[in-house]
Every structure is written in C-alpha cells, then in structure tokens.
C-alpha cells in the first residue's frame, strides 16, 4: 500500500511544466512551478504548516486554540487544513475585494471569515490587518501568526521552494521570477538560489501597477490583482534579494491568466498571469542557454466569477488586447 497519513505530507515538491504556447518563439526556455498542486491549492500551504508549528513550539498555540490571520484567501486555506489536522479553530479577516468564491472556499473548510474594507489605509482600525489584531486581543487562546512579519514565511521558501527549484533544474536555473505579496516567496527562495549558485541566478519580482515594490516613490493606487503588491514594505520582504522588479498592469496580467488557461491548460489566479508576463519579458532578452522558472502561486478556482467571467472582463474594458482573441471574446 502507498498512502499518506496526513494531507500535510503532500505539501511542497510541486512539479515544473514548460510553457510551450505563451513562450513560443522566445530564445530561453520558460518553466512554471505549479503551486496549485499543493493540497490547499496554493503556495501558501508551505508557510501555513511552518507558522503553526512555530507557534506550537513556542507555546503560544495550545490545544483548542484559535488561529487568527489577515488573509486574502490562500494562507487561510493552508491554515484551515493545518488547523483541522491539529484541532484548532480558524478566524480570518479578508479585504472586501477578495473574490467571493475564495471566501466561500475558506468557509467550506470550516473557518470563520470577517470581511473588511480594502480601500482604507493599513493602520485604519477598519482595515483587515487592524481587525485581525483586535480579534486576537479579544479572543481567548487566540494567536495571530501574521505572515507579513513571520520569519517562517520566507524561511519556508528558503528551506523548501528554493532547494526544490535547484534540484529540479539540476542547478541549471538562471532566472527566477515570482510575484511579490508578503515577499516571502521571492525573499526566501531567491536568497537560497543566490547562495547556492554563488550569485549567478537572477531574481526578478513582478508587481502590480499601483503597488510599492516596483515604485517606492510613486502613488499607491488600487488594482484588481489579488494577493500581490503592497501599500508599504512588510518585514517578510527582503529588498536586497530581487535584482529587478517588473511592473505589470491588471490588463496584461488578466489577459495572460486567461491565455494560460486556454493555451497551456493551466487554470491559475491573476497573480500567475502577472508573474508569467514578467517571465516572458525576461525570457525575450535572454539566450537558449538560459532557463527561466516562474512560480505560479494559486489556481483559478477562486476567480471563476471574475477573471474567467467574460462579462466581468468586458465591464472593466479589458477586452481590447489583440493578444486576447479567443473565439468567445470576439463573439462579445
Ligand atoms: N499570489 C497570490 C494569489 C497570493 O495569495 C500570494 C500571497 N499573498 C502571492 C502571489 C505572493 O506570495 P508572497 O506572499 O510569498 O510574496
């Protein structure tokens, strides 16, 4: 017999798949690390286990305790899986721009979800970060893990994602591309790849227009993409790791997300399209000796009523890109 005793044993070791269609004609090979194949459907399963185990080890989380987290969905799912396995309750705060389907998923796993306004500043008492902090104070036996400052967030990628990328490419990876949300992925996996390659691997971040990572001085503006970008630098992000940060518009990211589903059969979220746009831009200027790996954080499951809904896309005026000319789009 071959089976796992726990879903937690299935976290990580996600496969690499070559992008054949969207990267056709580019000089370098582009591989995608498909994180939706984690049991909770995203890269965030990786950090959920380690953050919970750290809270248990330092005695903050005890049997029957409650895990509180401000999360746009994916970290919540990871935490909900770990919480079920270990017998904790989950209480999450989400900004109201998060896709309704993602919130339904969290509730399906048994978590309690509190919705907060997305457009107020982070330090406003109504923001999803402030509400999570208040709930921790008001709930007995509660622990706020806070992926934005938790050292286990980047560390999960330093110990897991980074070594996987190196092993899976036999050390031939030359460029690693990832979207930046908390910054955990790029800071941890990027730091490992730089160390193991003695600085040879280039680390490239992708950031939505309107976020601070690619333009620290620029105006902070709302954008549609979820789980990526920030209005201010979190502690989970190490700004010394990325060699370059590429800004991507909502329009470019959403168009590419739909292409990934239609042309590569990769049903992913909008931040995956964003990272893929950046990866293709990098691959354009490289040679056949180069190997670009782009990390695709989550699945399209949570975005069916948004990115994959023609009316939603049409309402936002996002159908004018000549690259996005699937038959269904032309019929509209
Ligand atoms: N994409 C999605 C959909 C996410 O949920 C996240 C995590 N917030 C990211 C990308 C970015 O990952 P990280 O937080 O490690 O920078």
Q: Provide the token pair at 227.
A: 């789980």
pLDDT of residue 327: 43
Averaged over successive runs of 10 residues, the pLDDT of the chain (332 residues) comes to 96 98 98 98 97 97 95 91 96 89 91 93 91 95 95 98 98 98 98 98 97 90 91 94 97 97 97 98 98 98 92 84 49 40
pLDDT of residue 241: 98
227 lines ligand 1 (CB under 6 A): yes
Helical packing angle, 74-86 and 45-57, nearest 10°: 50
273 lines ligand 1 (CB under 6 A): no
**pLDDT, tens digit, 9 for 90 and up, residues 59-71:** 999 999 999 999 8
- Work out the number of other CB atoms within 10 angstroms of the CB of residue 242: 25
Three-point CA angle 256, 115, 247, nearest 5°: 30
Active site residue 44: yes
pLDDT of residue 323: 57
Out of 20, 33, 44, 86, the active site residue is 44
**312 alpha carbon – ligand 1 mean position (Å):** 23
Is 119 in contact with 45 (CB distance < 8 Å)? no
CA–CA separation, 136 and 67 (whole Å): 9
Is 25 in contact with 286 (CB distance < 8 Å)? no
Q: What is the CA radius of gyration of the chain?
A: 19
pLDDT of residue 321: 54
CA–CA separation, 104 and 113 (whole Å): 9
Burial of 214 (0-12, 13-18, 19+ CB in 10 A): buried
CA–CA separation, 249 and 209 (whole Å): 5
CA–CA separation, 202 and 164 (whole Å): 17
**pLDDT, tens digit, 9 for 90 and up, residues 206-256:** 999 999 999 888 888 889 999 899 988 999 999 999 999 999 999 999 999
CA–CA separation, 209 and 192 (whole Å): 27
**What atom of ligand 1 comes closest to residue 271's alpha carbon?**
1
**275 alpha carbon – ligand 1 mean position (Å):** 11
Is 22 in contact with 278 (CB distance < 8 Å)? no
**pLDDT, tens digit, 9 for 90 and up, residues 259-281:** 999 999 999 999 999 999 999 99
pLDDT of residue 331: 42
Strands (E), 121-268: 142-144, 175-179, 202-208, 244-248
**304 alpha carbon – ligand 1 mean position (Å):** 18
Q: Which of 305, 235, 241, 307 lies closest to 274, judged by CA?
A: 307
Give, for 69, the enclosing helix (H) or strand (E).
strand 66-70
The phi and psi torsions of 312 (rounded to 5 degrees) equal: -60, -45
Instruction: Give 67's strand partners.
Output: 90, 143
User: Burial letters for 88-123: b for 16+ Cβ neighbours within 10 Å, e otherwise?
Assistant: bbbbbbbbebbbeebbebbeebebebebbeeeeeee
**327 alpha carbon – ligand 1 mean position (Å):** 31
Residue 273 Cα distances to 2, 26, 211, 269, 302, angstroms: 35, 17, 16, 7, 14
Q: Provide the token pair at 24.
A: 């056709």
Atom 6 in ligand 1: which residue has the minimum CA distance? 227
- Select from 12, 47, 73, 74 the residue to mutate for testing ligand 1; criterion: most ligand atoms less than 8 Å from CB: 74
179 lines ligand 1 (CB under 6 A): yes
**183 alpha carbon – ligand 1 mean position (Å):** 8
211 lines ligand 1 (CB under 6 A): no
228 lines ligand 1 (CB under 6 A): yes
183 lines ligand 1 (CB under 6 A): yes
**What atom of ligand 1 comes closest to residue 184's alpha carbon?**
15
pLDDT of residue 98: 82
268 lines ligand 1 (CB under 6 A): no
pLDDT of residue 320: 61
């Amino acid at each position: 017999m071959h089976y796992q005793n726990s879903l937690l044993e299935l976290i990580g070791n996600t496969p690499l798949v070559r992008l054949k269609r969207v990267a056709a004609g580019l000089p370098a090979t582009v591989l995608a690390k498909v994180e939706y194949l984690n049991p909770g459907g995203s890269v965030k399963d990786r950090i959920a286990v380690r953050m919970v185990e750290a809270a248990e080890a330092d005695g903050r989380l005890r049997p029957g305790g409650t895990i509180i987290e401000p999360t746009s969905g994916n970290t919540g799912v990871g935490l909900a899986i770990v919480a079920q396995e270990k017998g904790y309750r989950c209480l999450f705060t989400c900004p109201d721009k998060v896709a309704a389907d993602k919130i339904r998923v969290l509730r399906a796993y048994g978590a309690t979800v509190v919705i907060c306004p997305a457009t107020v500043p982070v330090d406003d008492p109504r923001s999803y970060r402030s509400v999570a902090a208040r709930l921790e104070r008001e709930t007995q036996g509660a622990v706020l893990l806070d992926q934005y400052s938790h050292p286990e967030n980047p560390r999960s990628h330093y110990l897991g994602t980074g070594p996987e990328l190196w092993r899976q490419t036999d050390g031939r990876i030359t460029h690693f591309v990832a979207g930046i949300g908390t910054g955990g992925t790029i800071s941890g996996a990027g730091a490992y790849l730089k160390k193991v390659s003695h600085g040879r691997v280039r680390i490239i971040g992708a950031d939505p227009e309107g976020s601070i990572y690619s333009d620290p001085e620029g105006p902070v503006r709302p954008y549609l993409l979820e789980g990526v970008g920030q209005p201010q630098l979190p502690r989970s992000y190490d700004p010394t790791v990325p060699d370059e940060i590429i800004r991507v518009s909502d329009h470019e990211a959403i168009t590419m997300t739909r292409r990934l589903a239609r042309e590569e059969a990769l049903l992913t979220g909008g931040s995956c399209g964003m990272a893929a746009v950046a990866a293709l831009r990098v691959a354009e200027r490289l040679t056949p000796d180069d190997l670009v790996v782009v990390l695709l954080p989550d699945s399209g499951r949570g975005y069916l009523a948004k990115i994959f809904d023609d009316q939603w896309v049409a309402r936002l005026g996002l159908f004018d890109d000549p690259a996005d000319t699937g038959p269904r789009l032309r019929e509209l």
